[in-house]
């Protein structure tokens, strides 16, 4: 009697095991897709760092009047003014924050990070942008648009609140200021990174500083996820075909169908990522192209891992790491499930589940 009860429970336990693994598997897929959506929101940004004071206000104004700037939907330059103390005269509370002077369209730097209010406009004075943590510290609320803070004895009206908990204060640049970096928002996400950077370096000079390409993280995330999804489909189909047995007539068709679906997933991933000309060689005999681009993009990622100027950079890197980590997890889980599935097939118990369960 004991053996019969054990035999009945084992198939049920394995069914629950595979159901739980499937639920986890689908959850990770949804999590990765959410991350790719967030990365897609930042795929249109390019940022270049210059030595302190490497960009002048005059040079930026001249570039904006040039037709080359028409390739960008928005642009802004910034300089860091160090840590300064902000005080709310209404509550008496204070907060140390990293202060930046910005000229141009702040959305080119911060993107969709604005959770309240608005960005300040060109020529506007006496306003600022603060982060969530700072406004909560100063006022106890995030509904602060129109309230004022004091910075070094100067009253500033809060135009908008930025997502993030890194204390930061953004103010319009003073006349004649020099800047340390530039960020541009491309009109098209697939627009060439190299072409845009070349135009910026013609205007502001070459830079050996950090370069940030939002499209890089979106493209690599999409391609990596598509590769894992294609591998999953192929392995699942192979195991199904193996379960049918070598003499089953449909076995060969299942394998070919899985190959076709896997290839379709890979092609769909490439189409969705839309990498553009930066990721394709000028001529197919250029066999060193992919090694060069791999080294170039690796250096960009390593540079961002070392230093993130703004919360947007940090968030983008964090989500990208989550997507890559999630893809690696899916790949590992796929191999584990396949190994256990094969073991159950060899025992013969899972075949009973599939045909008699």
pLDDT in tens, 269-283: 999 998 888 888 877
98 near 168, Cβ under 8 Å? yes
In this prediction, residues 194-208 reach a mean pLDDT of 86
Give the confidence band of 7 by pLDDT, cuts at 50, 70, 90: very low
Residues 63 and 91: their CA atoms lie apart, in Å, by 43
Q: Is residue 3, in this structure, part of any structural domain at all?
A: no
Distances (CA, A) of 211 to 47, 189, 239: 6, 16, 45
Give the confidence band of 95 by pLDDT, cuts at 50, 70, 90: very high
244, 292: one domain: yes
Domain end residue (candidates: 155, 178, 208): 208
**pLDDT over 80 (residue 238):** no
Poorest-confidence range of 194-198, 246-250, 327-331, 347-351?
Answer: 347-351
Residues 113 and 315: their CA atoms lie apart, in Å, by 10
Backbone angles phi, psi at 245, to 5 degrees: 100, 150
Residues 195 and 46: their CA atoms lie apart, in Å, by 11
335, 262: one domain: yes
182, 299: one domain: no
219, 277: one domain: yes
**Average pLDDT of the residues of the chain:** 85
69, 170: one domain: yes
> Which residues are paired to 171 by β-bridges?
101
Total domain count, the chain:
2
More confident of the two residues 69 and 160: 160
100 near 80, Cβ under 8 Å? yes
In this prediction, residues 254-282 reach a mean pLDDT of 87
Residue 321: closest CA among 185, 211, 224: 224
Q: Is residue 223, in this structure, part of any structural domain at all?
A: yes
156, 34: one domain: no
The 10s digit of each residue's pLDDT in 114-126 is 888 999 988 889 9
Share of the chain above pLDDT 70, in %: 87
> Which residues are paired to 243 by β-bridges?
none
pTM for this entry: 0.85
Helix residue ranges, H only, 212-348: 214-244, 251-273, 289-306, 311-347
The 10s digit of each residue's pLDDT in 34-47 is 999 999 999 999 99
127, 66: one domain: yes
**pLDDT over 50 (residue 1):** no
Q: Is residue 155, in this structure, part of any structural domain at all?
A: yes
**pLDDT over 60 (residue 354):** no
Please tell me the predicted confidence (pLDDT) of residue 67.
Answer: 67
More confident of the two residues 224 and 187: 224
Q: Is residue 1, in this structure, part of any structural domain at all?
A: no
> 159 lies in which domain range?
51-208
More confident of the two residues 268 and 236: 268
For CA atoms 264, 318, 26, 40, give the dihedral sign. Answer: negative
Domain end residue (candidates: 173, 208, 243): 208
124, 186: one domain: yes
233, 325: one domain: yes
280, 316: one domain: yes
Residue 261: closest CA among 242, 241, 223, 235: 235
155, 249: one domain: no
Q: Is residue 193, in this structure, part of any structural domain at all?
A: yes
Give the confidence band of 355 by pLDDT, cuts at 50, 70, 90: very low
248, 289: one domain: yes
Domain end residue (candidates: 174, 208, 242): 208
């Amino acid at each position: 009697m004991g053996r019969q009860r054990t035999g009945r429970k084992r198939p049920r336990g394995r069914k629950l095991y595979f159901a739980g693994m499937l639920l986890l598997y689908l959850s990770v897929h949804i999590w990765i897709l959410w991350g790719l959506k967030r990365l897609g929101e930042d795929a249109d940004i390019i940022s270049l760092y210059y030595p302190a004071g490497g960009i002048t206000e005059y040079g930026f104004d001249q570039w904006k009047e040039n037709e080359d700037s028409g390739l960008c939907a928005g642009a802004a330059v910034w300089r860091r003014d160090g840590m300064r103390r902000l005080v709310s005269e209404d509550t008496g509370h204070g907060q140390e924050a990293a202060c930046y002077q910005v000229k141009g369209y702040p959305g080119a730097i911060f993107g969709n990070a604005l959770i309240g209010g608005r960005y300040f406009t060109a020529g506007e004075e006496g306003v600022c942008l603060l982060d969530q943590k700072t406004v909560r510290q100063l006022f106890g609320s995030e509904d602060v648009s129109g309230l004022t803070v004091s910075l070094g004895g100067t009253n500033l009206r809060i135009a908008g609140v930025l997502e993030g908990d890194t204390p930061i204060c953004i103010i319009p640049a003073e006349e004649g200021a020099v800047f340390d970096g530039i960020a541009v928002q491309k009109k098209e996400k697939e627009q060439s990174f190299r072409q845009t950077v070349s135009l910026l370096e013609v205007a502001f000079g070459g830079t050996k500083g950090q370069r940030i390409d939002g499209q890089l993280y979106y493209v690599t995330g999409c391609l990596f996820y598509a590769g894992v999804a294609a591998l999953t489909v192929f392995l699942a189909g192979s195991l199904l075909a193996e379960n049918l047995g070598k003499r089953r007539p449909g076995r060969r068709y299942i394998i070919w169908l899985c190959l076709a679906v896997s290839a379709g997933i890979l092609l769909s991933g490439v189409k969705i990522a839309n990498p553009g000309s930066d990721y394709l060689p000028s001529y197919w005999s250029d066999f060193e192209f992919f090694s060069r681009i791999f080294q170039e993009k690796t250096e960009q990622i390593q540079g961002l891992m070392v230093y993130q100027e703004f919360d947007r950079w940090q968030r983008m890197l964090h989500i990208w790491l989550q997507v890559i980590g999630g893809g690696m997890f899916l790949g590992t889980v796929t191999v584990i499930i396949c190994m256990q599935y094969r073991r159950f097939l060899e025992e013969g118990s899972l075949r009973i589940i599939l045909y008699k369960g």
